[in-house]
Structure formats: structure tokens, C-alpha cells
Structure 1
């Protein structure tokens, strides 16, 4: 596809070199030797590249040698023109390239300092790729020497992935970094990252090279060990479970008293005569023995029931907080949480069904006792309720803050109309609205551009008191005409 484009635009050098730049990035990700030849070609022809394309090509040339860790004899690209030295976007990649070179030669301290310089410049622009890459690389290179600092840095990178990237496939490496560091520090939130990776990996391309499912095969496989089925309530009495319980029982008699389980039943569990163990029995043992499970190491039945207990506790705490919030604000919390969750068909199979979201919105504004009853029957909805109040995974928090700003632009009465109409849409149409809402805030960058608002959007924008320029940018963020037609159709139903 890229090759055909290059051949067809020989007369338009700007487009030609932009496509060659894209081709170099693809070859670099795939680790193809042809990338080195194209790098040399672009480097030699740099003086021929039109000004409009030169800055983009320059940033790729600056990064290429340092990203190819196996190639030590590639000549580095130097920029003699003061224009490029002073351009802040280019400066970011100059610092990132230098930082990687320092790391490759073992100068970790100097490399870290250069990453921070690049990060500071990237934040002032702001430059999404510069921010995300600086934070991610910093976290990766200090993960063993300063793991908790690394975790803070990669959590920030993950937040900005949610904020800046509607399609997170291109930055899957940040999820990989977070997962690795969470394992190092035994972070109990690792399961949430594993769940996101499992959902996102389905959309990665197949084949070889960076950014493919094959490249991240080991991480994807490891994630399966940290995802638990909360529907199960009867577990196999395995050797690992029995050995784990023995470690925390001083004697069967004392364990029987503290857990309120008969001595005979405990003996049958420990000697393996009982082939299965009920979830309720495991809960009694967790409470009675005052266990503090580790999701990374302990047997699955223990973690499964411990997670259920945590979800229940946090659910009821969240309900108490929700009762002290005004009904209109509860609707906003419910809606922005729902609109931000990734892969709802898998994460919210019940709540995303036709009629369920409408019911939840209606109950949370009218009768909190009925809302409690409605949400308490499933761990899916209990967890969702706690997410309305508590901090979520940083990737989701980034998406959540985008939607929060979008909904915050609407007058209260109009926002309630929006919520009700949104809930009546099909799940596919809701996703279209979600992406528009996030892009609306993403493109609020103070750009001095004027794009005419499509006539079909005018009524929707005016009714919900949205800004014309941001609505237009969010609309055209969908590149394909078919996608934009869908937006227009859905928004006719929303109004």
C-alpha cells in the first residue's frame, strides 16, 4: 500500500518523502534489513526533501539508529540547520535519540537526564509521542534499580495513552512496560492491566516485528494467569491450595475456632479427601486466618474469593458516598464511567445489554435503595459502581477525564436528556458517541484553525451547548467518510 503510494506520487515530493518516512517507521518496527538501506537513502537525500516534509523525516532519522539496538555501525543523523535545532518538536527527538545512545553505551545516569530534558520540552508543546515515549523509556530503564519510581512514571505514561490515543495499538509497548514493572513490585492492580492487555491484543496485527501479537506473545500468555473468573464458587482442592493453607494453620483446632469450620471438615480438606472446596469455606478461612493474599503468587481459589470480598466491601463504601451526591452528579459519574470503559462487550456484558443502562440511570437519580438492589446482584455491576467513585486504571482514567470535560460543557437539563438518549442507543452507536466525546476534548489545543461545522451537526451542537470548532475537529478526527456518515446518523437520534 505504502509502496504503491510512493510510486504514484513521484511528482509530489512532499507526499513522496512523507510516505518514505512512514515506510521507514514500519520497516523499523518489523526489524527488516531494508530499513537500513532506506535510512541511508533518506539521510543522503535530506537536502532534497521539501520543507513541509523535512521536519517529520528529521525526527524519524534522529530516532532510527538508537531504536535499532543490534546495528552499531549505522551513521547517526546530525542536523546542522539552526531551524531544526530550535524547533521544539525536533528537540524532543534529539534528546530522546541522545538518551537512547547513552543507555546503549552504559551511561545510564546521563541517559536518564536526557530523557527528562526531552520530557520537559514535550510537555510544554504538548507533544503526545514525546511525552509517552519519554515516560515509558524512563520507567523501563530504571525498573530494576528504582522499581517504585518506575511504576509512578509508567502510570503517568499510561494515563497519557488514554488521553491522547483513541487507538492504543500503536503504543501497546506501554502496557507491556506497565505489566512488567507491576510484576517486579508485586502491584495488586496488575490484574487490571492483564485484563486490558488481553482485550487489546485481539486488535494487534499478526506477523513478525514490533507491535505484533507474535512480538508480545510471552506477555500475552503471562496475562492469562492474572485474570480470574469471578462467576465460579466451587474449586478443585489442589495440592497448591492445601500447602498454602497448611502454612497459615498453627493447628486444626485453632483454625476451626477462628474460621468457624468443623475440625473434621478442615482435616478432610488438608488430607485431600474432600475433592472440591466451596467459595464460602475459603472466605471463612481468609477471614478466620486473617490472610493477606498476594495475587501474583497465591492459589487461584484464594485470590478469587478474596477479590470478591474486596469488590463487595468497596461496592458498599461507594454506595454510601453516592448517597451524599446530588442525583444529577450521580448521572454524570455513571455515564462518564460507562463511556470510558474499554471493550464493554467483555467487561460489561450485562450492563451493556439493551435496557440495562437506561434502568441504571433512572434508578440512580430516583431511588438509591432500588439502585443498590439492581447493582448488587452481579460482581460486574458492583465493580462498575465502585469505579464511579474510585480511581480506575490510569489508561481508563485518561479516557474518563476526556469525557468528564465533554459532559461538563452541557447545561444540567440538557445533560440529562443526553444521558437518556445515549442509553437508548445500540452499543455500536454508543461507541461512536464515546469516540466523538473523547476527541472533542483531545483537540481542545487552542489551534487557530477554522473549519466549517457540517450543517447536519449544527442542531446537535447548539442544543447541547458545545463549541463549534471542537465539534468540527472531533467530527473530522474520523478519517473515513463512512464513519462520519455514521456520526451524523447517530447524532440525529441523540437530539
Structure 2
């Protein structure tokens, strides 16, 4: 379909992304294969979600060891070679003045004949950047230039401009969402934030312990939040749109033209799928022990965190499994029985999630669970 009707193919990337996040661990070959397809379709349609798809692919790939990553790298060379043009972080660092960026700004200023004094930037600063007297440009300066112009966005737009537009979108949403978030009871704030944290791939950028303390102290304010934290809070208020497959086939929208004035960056359906399964675990988790659970999680190393996250995800995935005859439904093994009772987890999804693990990985899960039982 992606080669016949690109608009119809784009509509199907939404349920496909959700399906991937809901059903599969991120080291599954099907995830890479489908993300590759989603990336190509979004790229062909100039869909803003293409950047997050590239980021998700890169994060899934980075978590594989050498032997696991080799077949992926050999199979998906095309998308891997393109990642550097689509993946960016949310750090508030200076941007390098590449020829592509300078040419783009020159062209857009010339096209619109914008007077420099209307751009909220000094003529000296602009000229020094455009004529390569300075090698870097401040994010605030670049954003002022962007705000003074109006231009179409496509996949050839310099990545640092996309980054600033993404940050601007985050700021706009966060201004509204922070107040909504702070109106939640503190227990719900912590639970929702931890859910969002587990769903996304910015973990190494987030000081979870610090944010939770700020929630407890009523000291979480916009000025203290970096873009990763803002993104996690914003994601709490993203909702999964109801999608009917019949309507995808019949109601195909005209391709949308995005500009720097109308572009928004929606939550990726891959995250919405992951959120659905994590929320099932969090709903059952004994709220009296929520803080203790998170503290135990924070104390784990990266590999151990990955293991407990896999248990949480599979708990949600097998939550409503009904086609296993009762006599074949696994019982909660003694190794995790105390853990299941302490955190008031449902027994069937706990047992099935446990038996997804095999060999050394299962032994590691047992050791991790012991730390949570103390």
C-alpha cells in the first residue's frame, strides 16, 4: 500500500505503531521491520512523527548487544544510514552553523524580504552567523528567526529548526499541562509521571528521584523542568484516538501541508500502546507501596531496570488473556508469590509474565524481585 497510496498508508501507521508498542518487546525483529516501514511512509508524507519514529528505532537498536544488532544493521541499512538526519535530542544546547542551515535562513529571509529590525535579533548577530564569523547560534536566537518567518516544513528542513519547533510545541503544551498536573493529588502525580517515565526512552536524561521530591515538596515549577521532564508531563495528557479500520480505508484525508506556524508534534502511537499496558500494572499496584516500589526501581542498575520493565509490560499485555483453559493457566510460582501479594498484583498476568522469562533472565528476575519484597 505504501507504494500505491501514500496517504492511505499514512493512516495505517497509527494503528501499526500502537500495535507494536502494545504487543512487542523493543528487541523484537518485528518492531524494527515495522518501524522501518512506518518511517518510509511518514517520510514520503512529510509527517512530523517521522522524527520520533527514527528516534524510537535508534533507541531500540542501541539497547541490543553486538550479536543481536548485527542482523538488524545488515537488514535495515537504509533507515540506519538516515537516522543522523532525523534524530535529535531535547538538550538546550547551541546549534552548529552548518552550510545547510545558513543557506536555508538566507533563502527564507530573502524570499519574504523581512526587515531585520522586525526579527527580535540584532543585525550584527545575524550577519556574524550568516557570514560564518560565528560557528554556533543560540537556541533562543534561532527561535526568534523562525518566529519571524513562515515556511513549509518537509524532510529537507534543517534538523535544528525541527528541534526548535518541537521544543516550542513542548513549551506551549506544558504551560497548560503543568497546572492540570499539579491539580492531581500527589499520589496520582507520582503514579502518572512514573507511568510516562516507563513508557518513554528518555530515562537516562531524567532524574526521577529529584522530580518526585519536587512533587512531594510542591516545588515542581516550569523554570526547573528541562524539556525531557516537560515531555513526560505533556504525554500524561495525550489520549489514544479511537481508530476504526473501515474508516481508514474509506476516509483518506488530503495530504497536510505543515508550516512552522501550524506544525504540532503528537504523541507517537508506539508510546500510546506501551502506556496502555503499563497502566494496567500501575492500576493494580498497591498505592501504599507505590513510593517504595519506585525507590526500589531507582536503586536498580540499567540491566535490572530493563528486566523489571519487561515484567511490567508483559503483565499488561497478558492482563485480559482469556483463551487459556483454566487447567493450563500457570500458577504464581513461589519465587514471586510474596512480591505479587505485597504489591496486590493480579495472579494470572503475574504468573504468565514470569514464565515469559527463561534461563538466566528468569533467575535475574527472581533476584530483583527479592529486593522489592524487603
- Shared fold, TM over 0.5: yes
Question: Does the 8 Å contact 1:241/1:299 carry over to 2?
Answer: yes
Question: Does the 8 Å contact 2:181/2:233 carry over to 1?
Answer: no
SS in 2 for 1:243: helix
Report deviation, 1:476.
0.8
* 2:203 counterpart of 1:340: no
Question: Does the 8 Å contact 1:252/1:267 carry over to 2?
Answer: no
Alignment map for 1:409-488 (pairs within 5 Å): 409-444=284-319, 445-446=321-322, 447-448=324-325, 449-480=328-359, 482-488=360-366
SS in 1 for 2:137: strand
Higher relative contact order (CA 8 A, sep 6+): 2
In structure 1, how many angstroms separate the alpha carbons of the residues matched to 2:153 and 2:99? 18
TM-score when normalising by structure 2 = 0.80
TM-score when normalising by structure 1 = 0.62
Alignment map for 1:51-130 (pairs within 5 Å): none
Aligned to 1:350: 205
In structure 2, how many angstroms separate the alpha carbons of the residues matched to 1:205 and 1:233? 31
Aligned to 2:259: none
* 2:168 counterpart of 1:296: no
**Greater Rg over alpha carbons, structure:** 1
Residue 19 of structure 2 is aligned with which of 160, 174, 198? 160
1:171-221 CA distance string (max 9 Å, x none): 021001100000011011111111111222343877999x63112101111
In structure 2, how many angstroms separate the alpha carbons of the residues matched to 1:233 and 1:455? 50
Aligned to 2:254: none
Q: Which runs of 5+ in 2 are unaligned?
A: 240-266
Residue 150 of structure 1 is aligned with which of 9, 19, 29? 9
Residues 251, 393 of structure 1: CA spacing in aligned structure 2 closer, same or farther, 3 A cutoff?
Answer: closer
Report deviation, 1:147.
2.2
In structure 1, how many angstroms separate the alpha carbons of the residues matched to 2:315 and 2:275? 13
1:425-448 CA distance string (max 9 Å, x none): 333322222111111122231222
Residues 241, 414 of structure 1: CA spacing in aligned structure 2 closer, same or farther, 3 A cutoff?
Answer: closer
In structure 2, how many angstroms separate the alpha carbons of the residues matched to 1:190 and 1:443? 30
Question: Does the 8 Å contact 1:175/1:197 carry over to 2?
Answer: yes
Residues 237, 471 of structure 1: CA spacing in aligned structure 2 closer, same or farther, 3 A cutoff?
Answer: closer
In structure 1, how many angstroms separate the alpha carbons of the residues matched to 2:18 and 2:216? 30
Question: Does the 8 Å contact 1:441/1:470 carry over to 2?
Answer: yes
Residue 240 of structure 1 is aligned with which of 97, 100, 104? 100
Aligned to 2:117: 257
* 2:127 counterpart of 1:279: no
1:16-65 CA distance string (max 9 Å, x none): xxxxxxxxxxxxxxxxxxxxxxxxxxxxxxxxxxxxxxxxxxxxxxxxxx
Aligned to 1:493: 371
Question: Does the 8 Å contact 2:279/2:316 carry over to 1?
Answer: no
Residue 194 of structure 1 is aligned with which of 34, 45, 54? 54
Q: How many residues align?
A: 340
Aligned to 1:387: 235
SS in 1 for 2:73: coil
SS in 2 for 1:390: coil
Report deviation, 1:226.
0.6
* 2:211 counterpart of 1:363: no
Aligned to 1:400: 275
Q: Which runs of 5+ in 1 are unaligned?
A: 1-141
